[in-house]
């Protein structure tokens, strides 16, 4: 019997775990499997490296580390990863994927919202893509951009989406930016303190963020000037809805919409923003960084595109089943911060 094609839902991921296709150095956490993805957790060791790298075809990440490693960090008592530096860390989970099953990783929403650039590494592979039938360890490249971060074993920085075959592309949605409110967004403060990525509601947002008001232009529309190298949190103009049989990914770089990067954390799980999952009206929060030149955004301007793909079957639970911080969200900072 032919297995159904598409992104694998939570019950199939759990079956793969039960069958040994996904294993871990420690017990899996009860909330680790999301409706269409698996949270990955840091292991006990990380390395400060002098440069990002790919292992190359037929080569292992562990074989290349001595070429770029500057020093080794033990994460068991917690370790600060400093902004402007690059690290490679072990992941607790390991894969032995069956034939026909591949994967793709992305930073978690909370990771992207604090401007931490995270990419998955596999032996012989490319960033974030896991080859069909891959067997081997997983690593993450971590590059904090604005804030230094505190991590430890079990910290969840990214998530893995598994798929069988080529999922059907359902739709592509242009996503605009909302600059109509009194608060257009937030700009990250330089030289702020350390963010503990396992501490929820534990940081004063005023110490890390500056609120921004939109300027009203001659056409009566809100606008916001993005300064080069600065990091912004903005909200989508549109309410976003991901049907139960779909998952979506926001394209991280699209040169046709402007000289800036949007949305480090690109996965949207089935049920996000749906009435069925009590999330109607949810906005997408956009993590935006301008490149070399200033860029003037106008209310409603397209800043990203959301690509919808089909699941192999309906998930047994939808986004928000565990009380997500981001269901029914508007303009919202990451879960690490107290309410503004």
Top pLDDT among 252 and 295 is at 295
Q: What per-residue confidence (pLDDT) applies to 320? A: 82
Domain end position, chosen among 121, 140, 167: 167
Q: Are residues 153 and 174 in the same domain?
A: no
> Cβ(205)–Cβ(338) under 8 Å?
yes
In 3-state terms the chain splits into helix, strand, coil percentages (rounded to 5) of 10, 45, 50
Inter-CA distances, 263 with 72, 102, 142, 290, 309, Å: 30, 23, 16, 12, 18
224 and 285 both lie in a single domain? yes
* pLDDT, tens digit (0-9, with 9 covering 90-100), for 187-244: 999 899 999 999 999 999 999 999 999 999 999 999 999 999 899 999 999 999 999 9
Q: Which tokens hold the place of 69?
A: 């490693």
Do 201 and 301 lie in one domain? The reply is yes
Q: Are 162 and 285 in the same domain?
A: no
Shared-domain flag, residues 132 and 24: yes
In a domain, 104, yes or no: yes
> How open is the CA angle 38-276-248, to the nearest 5 degrees?
40
Do 22 and 137 have their domain in common? yes
Query: Is 178 found in the same domain as 50?
Result: no
Both 193 and 135 in one domain: the answer is no
Burial class (CB in 10 A: 0-12, 13-18, 19+), 323: exposed
Residue 292 lies in a domain: yes
Residue 239 counted as domain residue: yes
pLDDT on residue 181: 86
- Do residues 80 and 11 share a domain? yes
pLDDT of residue 289: 85
- The mean pLDDT of 307-314, rounded to a whole number, is 97
In a domain, 120, yes or no: yes
Domain check: are 138 and 197 in the same one? no
Residues 6+ apart with CB under 8 A from 158: 39, 40, 105, 106, 107, 108, 111, 118, 119, 120, 140
- What is the mean predicted confidence (pLDDT) over 77-100? 97
Instruction: Please report whether residue 324 resides in a domain.
Output: no
Give me Rg for the CA atoms of the chain. Answer: 20
Range 275-301 average pLDDT = 90
In a domain, 139, yes or no: yes
| E strand spans, 177-258 | 185-188, 195-196, 209-212, 215-216, 222-226, 231-239, 246-250
Identify the domain boundary among 148, 167, 186.
Answer: 167
pLDDT category at 264 given cuts 50, 70, 90 is low
Confidence category of residue 329, pLDDT binned at 50, 70, 90:
confident
Examine the fold and report which residue of 167, 202, 232 is the final residue of a domain before the chain moves on. 167
In a domain, 289, yes or no: yes
Domain of residue 271, CATH code = 2.70.40.10
CA distance linking residue 314 with residue 57, whole number of Å: 36
CA distance 278 to 282: 10
Mean pLDDT over 291-319 rounds to: 93
**What is the reported pLDDT for 209?**
98
Q: Which residues pair with 33 in a beta bridge?
A: 38
Whether residues 163 and 174 share a domain: the answer is: no
CB-count exposure of residue 266 (10 Å: 0-12, 13-18, 19+): buried
Query: Does 86 reside within a domain?
Result: yes
**Tens of pLDDT, residues 41-57:** 999 999 999 999 999 99
- Supply the range of the domain harboring residue 176: 170-310
Structural domain tally of the chain? 2
Residues 186, 126: one domain? no
Burial 171-187 (b: 16+ CB within 10 A, else e): eebebbbbbeeeebbbb
């Amino acid at each position: 019997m032919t297995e159904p094609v598409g992104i694998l839902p939570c019950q199939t991921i759990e079956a793969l775990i039960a069958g040994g296709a996904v294993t871990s150095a420690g017990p899996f956490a009860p909330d680790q499997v999301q409706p269409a993805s698996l949270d990955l957790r840091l292991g006990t060791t990380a390395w400060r490296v002098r440069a990002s790298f790919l292992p190359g075809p037929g080569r292992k990440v562990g074989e290349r580390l001595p070429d770029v490693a500057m020093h080794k960090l033990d994460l068991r008592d917690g370790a600060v990863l400093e902004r402007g530096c690059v690290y490679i860390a072990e992941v607790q989970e390991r894969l032995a994927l069956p034939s026909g099953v591949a994967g793709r990783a992305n930073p978690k929403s909370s990771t992207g919202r604090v401007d931490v650039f995270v990419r998955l590494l596999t032996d012989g592979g490319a960033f974030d893509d896991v080859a069909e039938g891959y067997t081997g360890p997983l690593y993450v490249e971590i590059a904090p951009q604005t804030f230094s971060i505190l991590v430890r074993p079990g910290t969840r920085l990214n998530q893995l989406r598994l798929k069988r075959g080529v999922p059907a592309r359902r739709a592509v949605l242009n996503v605009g930016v909302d600059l109509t409110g009194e608060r257009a967004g937030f700009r990250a403060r330089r030289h702020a303190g350390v963010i503990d990525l396992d501490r929820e509601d534990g940081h004063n947002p005023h110490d890390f963020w500056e609120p921004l008001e939109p300027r009203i232009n001659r056409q009566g529309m809100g606008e916001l000037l993005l300064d080069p190298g600065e990091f912004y949190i903005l909200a989508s103009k549109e309410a976003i809805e991901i049907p139960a049989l779909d998952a979506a990914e926001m394209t991280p770089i699209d040169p046709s919409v402007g000289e800036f990067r949007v949305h480090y954390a690109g996965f949207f799980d089935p049920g996000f923003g749906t009435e069925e999952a009590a999330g109607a009206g949810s906005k997408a929060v956009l993590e935006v960084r301008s490149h070399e030149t200033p860029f003037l955004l106008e209310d409603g301007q397209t800043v990203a595109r959301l690509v919808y793909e089909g699941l192999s079957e309906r998930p047994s639970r939808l986004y928000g089943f565990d009380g997500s911080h981001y269901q029914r969200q508007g303009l919202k900072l990451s879960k690490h911060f107290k309410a503004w």
